[in-house]
Chain A
Amino acid sequence: MSLLEVRNLHVRFDTADGEVHAVRNLSFELDRGETLGVVGESGSGKSQTVLSLIGLLADNGRASGSAMFDGQDLFNLSPGALRSIRGRRISMIFQDPMTSLNPYLTVAEQMVQVVREHDRMTRRAARDRCLEMLEAVKIPDAAERLDCYPHELSGGMRQRVMIAASLLLDPQILVADEPTTALDVTVQAQILELMKDLNRRLGTAIILITHDLGVIAGLCERVIVMHDGELKEQGNVRDVFYRPRHSYTKALLKAVPRLDAEQVERLAPAADSSLLSVDGLKVHFPVRTGGWLGEKRPLRAVDGVNLDLRSGETLGIVGESGCGKSTLARAILRLVPTTAGNVCLLGQSMGDLDKRALREMRRDAQVIFQDPLASLNPRMTVGNIVSEPLRTHFPELGADEVRTRVADVLRRVGLSGRELNRYPHEFSGGQCQRIGIARALVLKPKVIICDEPVSALDVSIQAQIVNLLMDLQAEFGLALIFIAHDLAVVRHISHRIMVMYLGRIMEVASRKALYETPHHPYTRALISAVPIPDPDKERDRDRELLPGDLPSPVDPPSGCRFRTRCRFAQDRCRTEAPQLRQLTDSLVACHRAGEAVLV
């Protein structure tokens, strides 16, 4: 008999707009020790499904159907009985480890009370149990971490604490709701490895909810695909990935950008003069350390970056959070003050420009931001949003002319051109991003800087937006700087790629060279951390797991910035900062790149 058997699950919410069905007629099973992946895009009902099982739906939600767990129907239990199952036999971890841990209590305080709620034991014994668990999830210096507050830990460490807390009572099911979505890719790899290991060692069944097919491919034995509150397909992970039956699954698998996809040759742009060049750019922010009224020190967000962009080219910039990629984008557009260095657009140094000339300049360099809805003024109509740059830069244009141009550009980005009088909130995330692109495009710029333009969007929408950007580039000869943390997306769109770490460039290479023969140890780890949505390949890969966390950009390591996490570090790496040097097709900043150990 299965450990958990869900039959005809319905989840409804009473809202002001009437009843909303979040989950419809869902049935599935979970065996002891099994790993089940639940995959779907936002709004597919995947999170509500599990929340309803343990009675944590929002107040206006109702669940019906049956959920037999070890002979008891979870939907028929008294609140007290359900509570004794929650945390003890079915435990759960959530997406954002910062907000999911109580910031006002130490790690020990929050863990000890879970143990003592379910098991009679002394505080001392409970604390020992917690310590054991922290060690089991491989937290370094676990004994000291017990008395830390969550904000004193890094994101990856917090997620480890969450996992430790959820495993304290040896539950039969661990439900993980997007456990790695808020984490950097190298940290995600650590956490996934940990969950795999725990599943093997402790035999805990895992329900993994995620939008990331790659994560499922690596971890799960069985998969449920959900869409719009309904189950579309379920089965063995190999069947679902290699022989999908439902059209939605097929479409989803096709839409995911994958690292192992065939490299469609992207025609290199004519190597004429450089359109944009950045030389020795530094951006330091003064930050207070040691709390309020503490000493002010520079946070080296960008610390000496050079780059060149040719017309018609896409330069991808990748790196984990805190590597300075977004700051770099803003500094290029002079949206943040630079500390040193120079930016030249079309041969003109932007440092010498006065306000007016700078505005002229901005006509040629536009930007698209990450959160599509937040970057559009909610009180302006789409027509006004898109026409605003036109009206500022070409005040002489007549109203009719403006109108036609705006409608044209809206059509060009795949909208109907009739959206002029509507407001941003009436559109979906993907449509909002199209509006943002239209706004950037309306001035016919030469360069568009895209700062994580698709990371807030669902996979299928991501692909559309990326393809749109590529089409527009071909049509208008645009140069793009495409900033993202997702290496697969960057690979899909870029001609050249730059890898950043703690404000410095680690490696720059053509797309082919970077993914086929990465030279820098960080690039290699980064690429090997990206999960591939292919169960066999994903399980056969040799992972280069990076240890530890990103050091603070206020106090970067001496010499090579990457040395604290580098397997190949030597004495020289501590004293001497490696400069970018040419190595076959790449520019690499590593003392040891090219040595045999690294290949």
Chain B
Amino acid sequence: MLRYATRRFLGALPTLFILIALAFFLIRVAPGGPFDSEKALLPEVEANLRAAYNLDEPLHQQFARYVWGLAQADFGPSFQYRDYTVTELIMTGFPVSLRLGGMAITLALLVGVTAGSLAALRQNTRTDYAVMSASMTGISIPNFVMAPLLILIFAVYLGWLPAGGLGDGSPRNMVLPVIALALPQIAYISRLTRGSMIEVLRSNFIRTARAQGLPMHKIVLRHALKPALLPVVSYLGPATAAVITGSVVIEQIFGVPGLGRFFVQGALNRDYTLVMGVVVFYGVLIIAFNLLVDLAYAWLDPKVKYS
């Protein structure tokens, strides 16, 4: 198990390297630079600044320096927030994003699995149709449309919840962003659960369980849920990636000071190191999470054993 995890992680290093290289060169190709601002800097000042941040070196040398830094867990200094290192910035933003994303995924799992299972058990009834059309809507409306709609309805018209920011830090502030972030995932997960649950309920071992006189709710909970959840577990990898991408937009719209916001600001200001830092950080996170998902899968499915 441990050997498997290590091997998987080493196997992911090339992927990570390509990711770093892509991020590094792409952002440099983008027009503009970190020291462009309304007020043009004196050429000497700018030259000094560039030298201070090693931007005057040839590109490959900069790249080597950056990778070397990363290997020592050093993301470098931020170009924009000059008093902070990128590591410090990530550490301020990430806890906020983690809370947001974690709650969104948990909510998506709870609601998605329940709704999907219900739809499967009541296949081709009104419950089923309701769940399925709701989730179709959830999938087809992009979050940058859904979020403002939610704000309009619940914050502006009904006034039940705050429209944005973290305010005094009360949980009320998180409700709308979490929902906006979770909705598409709820939709996906409920469709996924419904499909696999229907298939599992048709299998022979369910017939056996019925022949043994178990009541339906026990059959679902003890016999069907585990196998029906396997596809959902595999989907958790992509789901995390989707939630991270989504959080970039959602944090911006709701003014949540998370990592996504830093990323957007960084990109706008050509804060090379900050953008790359976030990319690399999320890259590692997604790789690690996918590994976790695979291990969870092995734990759920006795036929899969990693050695």
Contacts and interface: CB of A to CB of B under 8 A. Distances in A.
A binds B: yes
Contact of B304 (A96, A113, A162, A292): A292
Given A83-B213, A83-B215, A104-B226, A56 B207 contact: yes
Interface in A539-558: none
B72 interface: no
14 contacts: A56-B210, A83-B214, A85-B213, A88-B213, A99-B205, A100-B205, A100-B207, A102-B209, A103-B227, A103-B303, A104-B226, A104-B300, A291-B304, A292-B307
Contacts of A179: none
A114 interface: yes
Contacts of B307: 290-294
A117 B205 contact: no
Given A56-B211, A114-B212, A293 B306 contact: yes
Contact of A104 (B208, B301, B306): B301
A87 B211 contact: yes
Contacts of B300: 104
Nearest to A106: B302
B210 A290 contact: no
A80 B213 CA distance: 9
Interface string A215-255: 00000000000000000000000000000000000000000
Contacts of B304: 291-292
Interface in B199-254: 203-205, 207-215, 218, 222-223, 226-227
B204 A105 contact: no
B305 A114 contact: no
A168 to B, nearest CB: 9
B53 interface: no
A113 B205 CA distance: 14
Contact of B302 (A56, A103, A290): A103
Contacts of B222: 105, 109, 113
Contacts, number: 92
Given A104-B227, A105-B222, A117-B218, A54 B211 contact: yes
Given A84-B213, A104-B227, A292-B307, A149 B207 contact: no
Interface of B: 4, 7, 203-205, 207-215, 218, 222-223, 226-227, 300-307
Contact of B205 (A101, A151, A291): A101
A74 interface: no
B62 to A, nearest CB: 38
Interface string A112-148: 0110011000000000000000000000000000000
B122 to A, nearest CB: 12
Contact of A151 (B204, B212, B215, B302): B302
Contacts of A104: 223, 226-227, 300-302
A448 interface: no
A199 B293 CA distance: 48
Given A85-B213, A94-B207, A103-B205, 14 more contacts: A56-B207, A86-B210, A86-B212, A87-B211, A94-B211, A99-B203, A100-B207, A101-B208, A102-B208, A102-B209, A114-B213, A166-B212, A290-B305, A292-B306
B57 to A, nearest CB: 42
A92 interface: yes
A382 interface: no
B307 to A, nearest CB: 5
Nearest to A101: B205
B302 A117 contact: no
A91 B306 CA distance: 38
B212 A87 contact: yes
Nearest to B230: A104
Given A104-B227, A104-B301, A105-B222, A117 B212 contact: yes
Interface string A262-303: 000000000000000000000000000011111000000000
Nearest to B204: A99
Contacts of A54: 211
Contacts of B306: 291-293
A368 interface: no
A165 B205 contact: no
A59 to B, nearest CB: 9
Contacts of B226: 104-105
B214 A92 contact: no
Contacts of A103: 205, 227, 302-303
A72 to B, nearest CB: 15
Given A102-B223, A103-B303, A114 B204 contact: no
A151 to B, nearest CB: 5
B205 A102 contact: yes
Which of B205, B222, B300 has the largest number of chain A CB atoms within 10 A? B205
Given A151-B302, A291-B306, A165 B207 contact: no
A325 B205 CA distance: 31
Contacts of A292: 304-307
B234 to A, nearest CB: 15
A113 B214 CA distance: 8
A409 to B, nearest CB: 40
A84 B205 CA distance: 19
B61 to A, nearest CB: 39
Nearest to A89: B213
A415 to B, nearest CB: 35
Contacts of B4: 293
A162 B204 CA distance: 12
A91 B302 contact: no
Interface string A191-216: 00000000000000000000000000
Nearest to B3: A293
Contacts of B210: 56, 86
Given A104-B226, A104-B300, A92 B211 contact: yes
B302 A100 contact: no
A109 B222 CA distance: 9
A114 B222 CA distance: 12
